[in-house]
Amino acid sequence: MNILWITLESILPANSGGRLGVFKRLEQVARTENIFLFYPYDSVSEEQEIEELKKYCKEVHAYRRGDNNKSALKEIAKYPFTVSSRHIRAMQQDIQKCLDTKNIDVINVDFPHMCVDLLGIKTSAPIVLNEHNIEWKVYRMISSSQKHPLKKLMYWIDSYRLKKYEKCIFSQLPIKIVTFVSDKDMDYMAKKGPITKEKPVLIPVGADHMTELPEKKHDGHNIMFVGKMSYGPNIEAAEWFANAVFPKILEKVPDAKFYIVGKDPDEAVKGLERENIVVTGMVDSVEPYYASSDLVVLPLKNGGGVKVKLLEAVSYKKYIVSTSVGVEGTLYADGKTIPVSNKDNEFAEMCLSALFRNEEAYQRMNSAYDIFIENYTWESIGRKYVQTLTHICE
């Protein structure tokens, strides 16, 4: 099967949940299928990843997003900037050429933003759109949590425009299947969103089946939160835990440390650093941090989709405490295997129980891992996705 695959950004280095989710799915599909990959990228340093991606793809076409700023600003009245900045003429022309010459069986699109490069394209190939979350709802939730009136308004306007844009692409493109990583998002879009004739399919994100981590060598009690720290929901989560929850933990465990691990930390995140709070910035590997952590927290208040960081932590057999947003759309949402709370005091108490390793916390950790092995390994997800693509090509 020849697949024209369009994605939002360079998926290597796979140093964020979104990148990791796309790369791992592509890695599995590439074992049996031919992939022609197209994407915009932001940083010059990401150019070196093109050769690495060629190990998985028949062809790789990458386009510097910054070179498109003038054109993007001209189209700002038509599309939100996050969409117009990815409407790259050269990429659109090369996509058409690929469709005309490479006998493409199916077009796979990650994130609705990238559908803009298919508007006006001539093809009979079916389109599969992967909705990793409902982007306009994420912006709406961020808007509601903003204290600054101007920021609140800006996020709300972007939310409105993204919602309008999404309706446009569903009405203009021959999208056959829409995949979701969260059953909650899938149900919402099927009942209240623009999906009418398109078939919704649940394809969850996953994680690698990790080997045993080396035994930790540190004193004290380490708590870890991992994610891209320029992303609004992660910034909000780090601030809430650091300011509202962590002080309550320090009252009982004075030697506790909170590690905020992730690239591009916002100034608000950098400002959280103090004696017991470490902001790492970008790291070469998260594994040493998982190895030395006693507890992983997901203190998210907003954000859609399934959190790769959740499944990654489960795959490492770590003790986890989460808000309801952190586990939504997964088999962990019922709170039976992963403790869940949205309240400051209760979240802190759950963290203390995990740090003190009571029997209930141990049983929950093992039960969460069993669910992961059965449902969330990348191998099983890759097989299901290939079956989905094959089905619409028949």
The verdict on 155 and 252 lying in the same domain is no
Please report whether residue 319 resides in a domain. yes
Whether the bond between 13 and the residue before it is cis, its omega within 30 degrees of 0, is yes
Please report whether residue 214 resides in a domain. no
- Residue 94 and residue 61 in contact, taking contact as beta carbons nearer than 8 Å: yes
At 193, phi and psi to the nearest 5?
-90, -170
d(CA 296, CA 314): 9
The pLDDT, as a whole number, for residue 2 is: 98
The verdict on 7 and 76 lying in the same domain is yes
The verdict on 99 and 176 lying in the same domain is yes
The verdict on 119 and 268 lying in the same domain is no
- Residue 7 and residue 114 in contact, taking contact as beta carbons nearer than 8 Å: yes
The verdict on 350 and 290 lying in the same domain is yes
Please report whether residue 82 resides in a domain. yes
Q: Does the pTM of the predicted model rise above 0.85?
A: no
- CATH at residue 46: 3.40.50.2000
The verdict on 308 and 197 lying in the same domain is no
The verdict on 14 and 36 lying in the same domain is yes
Please report whether residue 167 resides in a domain. yes
d(CA 99, CA 119): 14
The pLDDT, as a whole number, for residue 139 is: 83
CA distances from 36 to 95, 171, 358 (A): 9, 26, 50
Please report whether residue 216 resides in a domain. no
175-180/127-131 β-pairing: parallel
Instruction: Say which residue the tokens 């004075």 belong to.
Output: 254
Which residue type does 379 have? E
Burial class (CB in 10 A: 0-12, 13-18, 19+), 215: exposed
- Domain limits at 152? 2-206+378-393
d(CA 371, CA 381): 14
The verdict on 180 and 327 lying in the same domain is no
Please report whether residue 213 resides in a domain. no
The verdict on 99 and 242 lying in the same domain is no
C-beta neighbour count of 180 within 10 angstroms? 28
Which residue type does 336 have? K
Please report whether residue 212 resides in a domain. no
d(CA 59, CA 37): 6
Burial class (CB in 10 A: 0-12, 13-18, 19+), 139: buried
The verdict on 178 and 96 lying in the same domain is yes
Helix then strand then coil, % of the chain, to nearest 5: 50, 15, 35
Which of 205, 238, 247 lies closest to 323, judged by CA? 238
106-110/59-64 β-pairing: unpaired
CA distances from 361 to 16, 51, 193, 241, 336 (A): 28, 44, 39, 20, 11
Rg of the chain in Å (alpha carbons): 21
The pLDDT, as a whole number, for residue 190 is: 84
The verdict on 229 and 309 lying in the same domain is yes
The pLDDT, as a whole number, for residue 208 is: 81
Which residue type does 305 have? G
For each of the chain's 394 residues, which pLDDT tens digit applies? 999 999 999 999 988 878 988 999 999 999 999 999 999 999 889 999 999 999 999 999 999 987 777 777 778 888 988 898 899 999 999 999 999 999 999 999 999 999 999 999 999 999 999 998 888 888 888 888 788 888 889 889 989 999 999 999 999 999 999 999 888 888 888 888 788 767 899 898 888 876 666 666 666 799 999 999 998 899 999 999 999 999 999 999 999 999 999 999 999 999 999 999 999 999 988 899 999 999 999 999 987 666 788 999 999 999 999 999 999 888 999 999 999 999 999 999 999 999 988 788 889 999 999 999 888 999 989 999 999 999 998 8
- Residue 388 and residue 177 in contact, taking contact as beta carbons nearer than 8 Å: yes
Number of domains making up the chain: 2
Find the DSSP H helices in 75-112.
81-84, 89-101
Please report whether residue 316 resides in a domain. yes
d(CA 309, CA 317): 13
d(CA 214, CA 233): 31
The verdict on 180 and 326 lying in the same domain is no
